[in-house]
Amino acid sequence: MTEILRIENLRAGYGEAVVLPDLSLAVEQSQSLALLGRNGMGKTTLVNTIVGVTRRFSGKIFLDGNDITSLRPDQRALTGIGWVPQERNIFKSLTVTENLTAVATPGKWDAARVFEMFPRLGERRNNLGNQLSGGEQQMLAVGRALVLNPKLLLLDEPLEGLAPIIVDELLAALRRIIAEEKISAILVEQNAQKILSVTDRAAILERGMIVHEAMSVDLRKQPQVLESYLGVGKAKRA
């Protein structure tokens, strides 16, 4: 299959601190990757480096065969990267509809499709961003990334701090986006039990290096691996 993302010998971090000492990774077209690991192991740094907001010391990043290593974050977004950061970064003074239309680019994903995917947002389309619950803001952050019509979707801790019913709604939407829409995606998540149920592959980071890779369905059946690297027991079905 064609690779949508290739990272070669990446060394990156913040200031003089190196968080990723020498990381290589590939994600294929229409494939989803769960990026797992304990806190502080480099997961967010890797996503931030793909986006272009960290310091890169060496290595290369290719998106859909094109070298994006030297591009600014805004230029990388235009090449096809959709990013949902932990902070969500929605426009809180704009309505839901305005949040979506302000950043939209031509393609199959528009505000109407986002409202179909997230009916809660459709019901609140005229509400301001600061009038939404945390879960609704997260849905809007995902929707804003989708209307960019990205080649690669990056989600950093999308389930963090959400109520269980919202987690279930968001997971159902992510399954549709990944399985039915065939969007290539990298999902950073602490909850391995949940995220392995919606992804194709998984990579575990430790001290900024990939120490284990497997198909998600296989990793869910390897409690000893999850316990060793993540400190969790057998993955439950979501």
| Lookup: tokens for 207 | 């001290």
The sign one gets for the Cα dihedral 139, 143, 169, 83 is negative
Question: pLDDT, tens digit, for every residue of 52-99?
Answer: 999 999 999 999 999 999 999 999 999 999 999 999 999 999 999 999
- Rounded Cα distance between 201 and 178, Å, is 12
Q: Report pLDDT for 193.
A: 82
pLDDT band with cut points at 50, 70 and 90 for residue 191: confident
- Please, how many CA atoms are within 13 Å of residue 206, restricted to the half-sphere of its CB? 10
Q: Report pLDDT for 238.
A: 35
Enumerate domains of the chain plus CATH numbers.
Answer: 1-75+150-157+184-238 (3.40.50.300)
Q: Report pLDDT for 16.
A: 96
Beta bridge mates, 212: 204
* CA triple 217-219-223, angle to 5 deg: 130
Q: Report pLDDT for 233.
A: 52
Question: pLDDT, tens digit, for every residue of 208-231?
Answer: 999 999 999 999 989 899 989 988
3-state helix, strand, coil in the chain (%, to 5): 35, 30, 35
Q: Is the pTM of this model over 0.75?
A: yes
- Flag whether pLDDT at 109 surpasses 80: yes
- Flag whether pLDDT at 1 surpasses 80: no
